Chains A and B, each alone.
Chain A
Amino acid sequence: MKRFTLLMAALVAVAGLASPVLAADTIKLGVAGPHSGDLAPYGIPTMRAAQLVVKKINAAGGVLGKQVELLIQDDQCKPEIATNTATKLVTEGANVVLGHICSGATKAALGIYNDAKIPVMSPSATNPGLTQSGDYPNFFRTIASDDMQAKLAVDFAINKLGAKKIAILHDKGDYGKGFAEFAKKFADESGKVKVVLFEGITPGAMDYSSIIQKVRRENADVLIFGGYHPEASKLVAQMKRKRLKTAFLSDDGVKDASFVKVAGKDADGAYMTGPRDLSTIPLNAAATAEYKAAYGEDPGAFFQEGYSAALALLNAIQKAGSTDYAAVTKALRTEYVDTPVGRIKFDARGDAEGVGFSVYQVQKGKFVEIK
């Protein structure tokens, strides 16, 4: 009898753990990304964007008459932490998730959300396979994918910089290597340039002089680098020191204020692709002003994309009339929404229609869009 009582007690306890999901009286928006660690500058602007959007929407009466609640989780851009983060957001009953920030972490977490039928929208994960593989029907993004970036970079190197020989380096990570491999593919396909070097460098290594010597020896006109700003700063500094005339061209992982801060004068002249200038879109100016008012500084990387993703997700729930997975994903694919990155909806794979990239150059410490 005693054992039976114990069993009943255990059953009741388990039911108690499961019930909060059913009793939800708020719309739960999960936010995942690096909020600590060296990649935090990429995650915090999105987290703040979500906070700003939710504050505004809640003040206006919420979504479907309910208040929106934020569930914020730090994944440090590490895949192994991201899976924990995802599991936590699922158990906490997130209806939709904004994140993750880095492609590697996003990929690790996506399967968990997919099994739980939760729509996920990243403001920054640009790895093409995330949408093109078709494995993650629950995934959306408000940023263009890496292959678009790589195509733009290669076209720019050929048409504007007149490159005949290209050296391609990457940081061996999902994001950097993906970008580099696409650059190589497009360069080979163009038939106008020769890829003279394609190699990975070790992030955090003390010295890149050997690889810089190699770039010089191959006489490359343009060095295309896939990766993030700490390695990019080291590369441009060593190139300047070795007096290479090779142009440096990189990706939006480098188009960050930290790059200019760390590389200093050496950053001048470096090119990088990044989301196109959005200053003509009225909503963007408004969002930027909100950020400045709240935090007293300019918004950092992926703020507009994060703000747009938060708006798109909550708009889809509103339009769908429920948090039901099928209804929300359908709304994302069919209903246009005005955001700081423009008027967007999502295609069958989950890529936003109507966002794009431009090439920038660092000139006297400022990013200048090259038309």
Chain B
Amino acid sequence: MEYFIELFLGGLTRGSIYALIALGYTMVYGIIQLINFAHGEIYMIGAFVAYIVCGVLTIYGFHGVSILIIAGLLAIVYSCAYGYTLEKVAYRPLRNAPRLAPLISAIGMSIFLQNYVLLAQTSDFLPFPSLIPNFAFMEPIAHIIGSPELVILVTTLVTMILLTLLIRYTKIGKAMRATQQDMSMARLVGINVDRVISMTFVIGSALAAIGGVLVASYIGQVNFYIGFIAGVKAFTAAVLGGIGSVPGAVIGGLVLGLTESFAAGYISSDYEDVFAFGLLVLILILRPSGIMGRTTKQKV
């Protein structure tokens, strides 16, 4: 039973990170039906900015939690700037082009950003300081869950609640939902659609940056390539939950994380990914639009 709880909490931790990143995919897809393949790179850039900021702050003698907060905030600011620019440069000019064009543009931007960081920084793995203080809980709790996992879980939970409130109760949230329903109608009632799309990218990027900082601090290393793997997993989570649906991304992320954790724990970590993607295929056969997805009505 103890082992089950360990695996469950482990799965929940990684699942909540998947969910955090998956939200960026799902929100963008929901509004402009684009799969933003460069989203994983925004996550990576968030982690790198935090890495650099940490280095600088350590020189100036800052400590622990203050570094975490400043580095986290700057990572969010930078990632948002990148997300905003990405949309402006790579997707907005292609707004009325056939669906495939922005998709290729997204893949191109992903490769570009990876190589940009590779050249500007280094290809080496870099040691990321563990910013989340590692409190010693009492045994037997200590080996079931530590403070880093707890911080990750709480942070993602709070972030998701804030996001839900934002979408449900704020003006920009309403505008986002309206744009998602019908872009031309939204434009007719006076919503600045371009601004809404930019905001979606900015919000998604902020979530990715939070994920990036948390994961880098948790596993203790950054590298220009981390965004690719995180991106693939989060994209899978988004599709699993039903791409375009915000609760779907969260559920998809958690389901994926738990599946991986249990598959590794009870069967074999050799087949961790096999089970994760097997589950995806299974769900797409049974529910083509994902767990929470709705089949879109064709506009006539």
Contact = CB atoms under 8 A, between A and B. Distances in A.
A151 interface: no
A204 interface: yes
B219 A234 contact: yes
A217 interface: yes
Contacts of A202: 269, 272-273
Contact of B7 (A199, A205, A213): A213
Interface string B167-181: 000000000000000
Given A241-B148, A262-B220, A206 B233 contact: yes
A255 to B, nearest CB: 15
Nearest to A209: B10
A38 B264 contact: no
A206 B143 contact: no
A204 B225 contact: yes
Contact of B14 (A207, A217, A261): A207
A216 B10 CA distance: 14
Contacts of B219: 206-207, 234, 237-238
Interface string A229-270: 110011001100111000000000000001001111010000
A262 B127 contact: yes
Interface in B219-245: 219-221, 223, 225-226, 229-230, 233
B133 to A, nearest CB: 12
Contacts of B230: 206
A201 interface: yes
A234 B11 CA distance: 17
| Candidate in A206, A211, A216 with the most chain B CB atoms within 10 angstroms | A206
B221 A38 contact: no
Interface in B123-175: 123-127, 134, 142-143, 146, 148
A210 B123 contact: no
A93 B230 CA distance: 43
B221 A205 contact: no
B288 interface: no
B6 to A, nearest CB: 5
A204 B13 CA distance: 17
Interface residues of A, number: 37
A261 B127 contact: yes
B38 interface: no
Given A210-B7, A210-B265, A40 B127 contact: no
Contact of B124 (A41, A210, A243, A264): A41
Given A204-B226, A205-B229, A264 B13 contact: no
B17 interface: yes
A79 interface: no
Contacts of A40: 123-124
A40 B134 CA distance: 33
Top 4 A-B pairs, shortest CB-CB distance: A210-B264, A209-B10, A262-B127, A200-B270
Contact of B125 (A200, A229, A264): A229
Given A199-B268, A210-B261, A38 B223 contact: yes
Given A199-B269, A204-B226, A206-B230, A211 B264 contact: yes
B3 A213 contact: yes
Nearest to B221: A262
A35 B7 CA distance: 40
Contacts of A200: 269-270
Given A211-B264, A264-B220, A205 B272 contact: yes
A38 B123 contact: yes
B270 A233 contact: no
Given A205-B272, A241-B146, A258-B125, A38 B229 contact: no
A238 to B, nearest CB: 8
A36 B264 CA distance: 33
B68 interface: no
B87 interface: no
Contact of A233 (B17, B221, B273): B221
Contacts of B272: 202, 205, 210
B260 interface: yes
Interface string B251-284: 0000000001110110011101100000000000
A36 B124 CA distance: 9
A65 interface: no
B10 A204 contact: no
B106 interface: no
Interface string A214-238: 1011000000000001100110011
A172 interface: yes
Contacts of A206: 14, 17, 215, 219, 229-230, 233
A207 B13 contact: yes
A206 B272 CA distance: 12
Interface string A261-289: 11110100000000000000000000000
B221 A230 contact: yes
12 contacts: A40-B124, A169-B269, A206-B219, A210-B260, A210-B261, A213-B10, A213-B265, A214-B269, A229-B125, A230-B223, A233-B221, A263-B127
A162 interface: no
Nearest to A265: B130
B118 to A, nearest CB: 9
Nearest to A264: B127
A257 to B, nearest CB: 11
B140 to A, nearest CB: 10
Interface string A39-65: 011000000000000000000000000
A359 B77 CA distance: 47
A266 B130 CA distance: 11
Nearest to A170: B270
Nearest to A203: B229
